[in-house]
Structure 1
Amino acid sequence: MSPAHYTTMARSILIAALTLGASALPASSGMNNIKNIVVLVQENLSFDHFAGGLDYDSSIDGPQGYCNPANVSLPDSAKVCANPIAKNIASDDPNHSISGGNMQVFGTYHPASGAKASMDGFISEQRASYPKDDLNRAAEAINYFTPDHIPVFNSIAQNFVLFDRWFASVPGPTNPNRAYLTSGTSHGHGKNDDDFLTSALPQKSIFEQLSDKGITWKNYENSTKSDPAFLPDALFYDWTAKNGKDNVVPINQFYTDAAAGNLPQFTWINPECCNYMSMHPPSPINMGENFVKGIYEAVRNSPQWNETLFILTWDEHGGFADHVSPPTDVPAGDSLTYSEASGDGKEYTFHFDRLGVRVPTVLISPWVSKGVVQHQPSGGNEFTHTSILKFVSELWGLDSLSPRVDWSPSFGSLVTNKFRSDTPEKLPDAADF
């Protein structure tokens, strides 16, 4: 970086400090190097299934040797073990409701309070959801990808920071997790119900917070508005529908803004869902990889790259298996609960007091170290989707949105003061498999 660039950066930091006042970061914090955040949330893949086969670092906690019984009610039934033969297009879309997640994680639809997560019910739930009596097909829920299957993500992980203990916020479907991602709570929603389609969520979101603070933001959406099943995440909220619609724009504008150096301070990207680029079955994995590649290369080659942190994560596990038990006894976003009929027809009430299954997550920036595998943070809590909100609140001096955000660890210590000039301008093309 040139001396002139450092001078410009120092001036920007000073202005930011004067703006934030008492909430300004210490001068020694690497977070001072970040002026722009880009977040892309892909769809429905567990860590084991998508990233557990990465082998560039032996400490990555993957699924090798992980098995489930063919019938969780019969522990001595045939074992179905994870193999590196995941398909580009999954034959079936696994159950990822809260009820289905109970069976997958606990081996029962009605786990008792304090129950141990056995992580042995994925095959049983897959067979219950798709009763074809075909263990090879059911095993698609537990199989995983190799680095050759996912060269784009493999390259990103090797060049930046990979989390192998990052948990979804809710052990259930997409929209409740996306609400936690953007507001620290789902306001009692445990399924993709109509409130997400009618901008009915009343809680304060990160988008409202940023607007109140004078921080610029956009939600770039890749055709979610044209899908009757989904709205862009920012439009979940009543406030956005009334005050921020102009900040929700098509994905093509993202590429234009990135190339011109006109990305806002906070960029939120919705993928298409759920047939082409999102990775949600039946979306092909390689199409999703090429979408991620395009987003990365637009950010990497933007004039704003030197001041940007790009966070790539997945909203939830999508019913795909993972062997690591999610944390329990965590604070909910609020006091609301959610009830639904379980797979056995009986009602189950969820208190939002435990996290969802692990999902892949990476930090991408010239200000993070190369090839880091981040495990559990110090302090005992776990990285989760609301860690993003925690980081943003620290960076820009925002109030905490919920008790879950309070509990969540920040990843600010992973942002350094050492600028890297070796970050790849281009990534490999997606695999053909």
Structure 2
Amino acid sequence: MAAIATAMAAACSGGAGRTTLPQIPHGSANPIRHVVFIVQENRSFNNFFLGYPGATTQSFGYDDTGRKRRLHSEPLAVVWDIDHSSKAFFLACDGRGQPRGTRCKMDGWNAEQVGFNAPKYAAYTYVRRGDVAPYWQMAQEYALADRAFASNLDGSFVAHQYIVAAYASGAVDFPTAQWGCEGGENDTVPTLLHDRKYGPTIPACFDNATIASEADAAGVSWRFYADVLNGTGGFWSSYQADRPIFRSGRWQTNVISPPAQFLTDVANGTLADITWITPTWTTSDHPGFGAGQGPAWVASVVDAIGASPFWNSTAIFIMWDDWGGLFDPVKPVYEDFDGLGFRVPLIVLSPYTPRGAVTHRQYETSSVLRFIENGFGLAPLAQSDARANDPALDPNLFDFNASPRPFHKIRGARPYTYWMSIQRRWGRQPAPLRDFGD
């Protein structure tokens, strides 16, 4: 990545217990030329990594009556969902501070609304290691962050704006119809005010600066891989809510469908400087969709990069967009009116990542954007990326003085033909019924 001439000022709203690293340019010694941001859906850290060595996890929680609840295992692919809206965040947090959602007691998980066929105390669950073995292997071979939080406190619509813009114009929860500009001016989304009260609705189509707009201005290439808008995973295509991209030729040239096209592109020698990859229904890890293909899908993406000439110059971030209503014992730090949300998994892979490291430094969704910005000389977009710690400065995640490590294949990966057969089977199916927005 190019060196940056000047350090960027960061406005920070603070937060007790926050570990802030000095934010400085990466410099010319950084060998990373490509950043791949893989975004999966709706899992808390504790749900996927219970018992991971060196990480903070907990095998029990408490409900709002004070009763201790032992976590029970559920398979990865389930057909029930849990509310993960702002209301669910405030209930699960059970905060005693002001504004609401602060000084969390973390005992209100049983108060979250659950979908049809959900087991009793559905939030108090974990996924067995065998169901998510590729994720554990990636963490063991590379690095895992156990203090990573969603930048926003609600669900996927807002979260998917944070992965490209570090901001969502104060929007909260979900639009009334479409998830972006396609719905027109009558497609609106609620807002959350700075005192965490609900405000007026606004159109679900934004004009915010994004990583893409800054990259275009700087001559940095980018691609966003997502399902088609009418596909089962199309609502996770972030730039549909970004007017400058959606209403321009960039929507046709830079937003690529289906996501499995990434595997062919890399094999053919094409990898943008900045890449986002979002899932389809079956590959999402999202509760409620019967989605059991996520670990194999992510392993396939990682293996495609690892087998390519791009490996020695690529950093891969795998992060889940929100907690999905699932129990986690770590209290979120209050940074701003819309975050932080609950803890989510973050796996970091690169040839310069120490093997088996667990970092306890605080990260958030916008930390990946901070890494991109500092590496490519882009300015911060909003408060969340300006305050976010840069993973490049964490020796548990990157050691750029070390020789690049050879890639180790991740077990469970499938070829491109397999994913295209899944796409042909499910790509034209109606989107699944969504009890709680996404």
Q: So what's the TM-score if we normalise by structure 2? A: 0.78
Distance 1:225 1:268, change over 3 A: farther
Number of corresponding residues: 367
1:94-116 deviation digits (Å, cap 9, x = unpaired):
000101111011169x9755842
Residue number in structure 2 paired with 1:124 = 111
Q: How far apart are residue 148 of structure 1 and its match?
A: 2.1
- Give the Cα separation in 1 of the matches to 2:102 and 2:180: 34
Q: How far apart are residue 221 of structure 1 and its match?
A: 1.2
Q: How far apart are residue 146 of structure 1 and its match?
A: 3.1
- Give the Cα separation in 2 of the matches to 1:80 and 1:114: 22
Residue number in structure 2 paired with 1:173 = 155
2:20 is aligned with 1:33:
no
Q: How far apart are residue 290 of structure 1 and its match?
A: 1.1
2:237 is aligned with 1:232:
yes
1:23-67 deviation digits (Å, cap 9, x = unpaired):
77434x4xx21000111100000111112233xx2x211122x22
2:249 is aligned with 1:269:
no
User: What amino acid sits opposite 1:241 in the alignment?
Assistant: F
User: What amino acid sits opposite 2:272 in the alignment?
Assistant: P
Decide which of 91, 105, 116 is 1:103's aligned counterpart. 91
- Give the Cα separation in 1 of the matches to 2:77 and 2:70: 20
User: What amino acid sits opposite 2:377 in the alignment?
Assistant: G
Correspondence list, 1:34-433, <5 A: 34-54=32-52, 57=53, 59-64=54-59, 66-69=60-63, 72=64, 74-75=65-66, 78-83=67-72, 85-106=73-94, 112-113=99-100, 115-126=102-113, 129-130=114-115, 137-193=119-175, 194=177, 196-198=179-181, 200-227=205-232, 230=235, 232-243=237-248, 244-245=250-251, 246-250=253-257, 251-273=259-281, 276-284=282-290, 286-328=292-334, 330-331=335-336, 351-352=337-338, 354-376=339-361, 382-413=362-393, 414-417=397-400, 418-428=402-412
2:58 is paired with a residue of what secondary structure? coil
**Equivalent residues of 2:148, 2:343 under 8 A apart:** yes
**Equivalent residues of 2:143, 2:353 under 8 A apart:** yes
Structure 1 gap ranges (5+): 1-12, 332-350, 377-381
Q: How far apart are residue 140 of structure 1 and its match?
A: 3.0
Q: How far apart are residue 421 of structure 1 and its match?
A: 3.2
2:235 is paired with a residue of what secondary structure? coil
**Equivalent residues of 1:387, 1:410 under 8 A apart:** yes
**Equivalent residues of 1:277, 1:283 under 8 A apart:** no
Structure 2 gap ranges (5+): 8-24, 183-204, 415-438
- Give the Cα separation in 2 of the matches to 1:155 and 1:355: 28
**Equivalent residues of 2:297, 2:413 under 8 A apart:** no
Q: How far apart are residue 373 of structure 1 and its match?
A: 0.3
1:56-79 deviation digits (Å, cap 9, x = unpaired):
x2x211122x2222xx1x33xx53
1:266-321 deviation digits (Å, cap 9, x = unpaired):
11111113xx1101122345311111111111111122111001110000001111
- Give the Cα separation in 1 of the matches to 2:124 and 2:391: 29
Q: How far apart are residue 249 of structure 1 and its match?
A: 1.0
User: What amino acid sits opposite 1:307 in the alignment?
Assistant: S
Moved more, 281-290 or 391-400: 281-290
Larger Rg over CA atoms = 1
**Equivalent residues of 2:307, 2:407 under 8 A apart:** no
**Equivalent residues of 1:47, 1:360 under 8 A apart:** yes
Distance 1:292 1:284, change over 3 A: farther
1:373 is paired with a residue of what secondary structure? strand
User: What amino acid sits opposite 2:398 in the alignment?
Assistant: V
Distance 1:138 1:153, change over 3 A: same
- Give the Cα separation in 1 of the matches to 2:275 and 2:129: 28
Pairwise CA RMSD: 2.5
Moved more, 229-238 or 396-405: 229-238
- Give the Cα separation in 1 of the matches to 2:236 and 2:207: 16
Distance 1:307 1:248, change over 3 A: same
User: What amino acid sits opposite 1:370 in the alignment?
Assistant: R
1:299-351 deviation digits (Å, cap 9, x = unpaired):
111221110011100000011111110001x14xxxxxxxxxxxxxxxxxxx3
**Equivalent residues of 2:352, 2:405 under 8 A apart:** no
Q: Calculate percent identity across the aligned residue pairs.
A: 24
1:359 is paired with a residue of what secondary structure? coil
Residue number in structure 2 paired with 1:339 = none
- Give the Cα separation in 2 of the matches to 1:160 and 1:141: 29
User: What amino acid sits opposite 1:388 in the alignment?
Assistant: V
Distance 1:371 1:263, change over 3 A: same
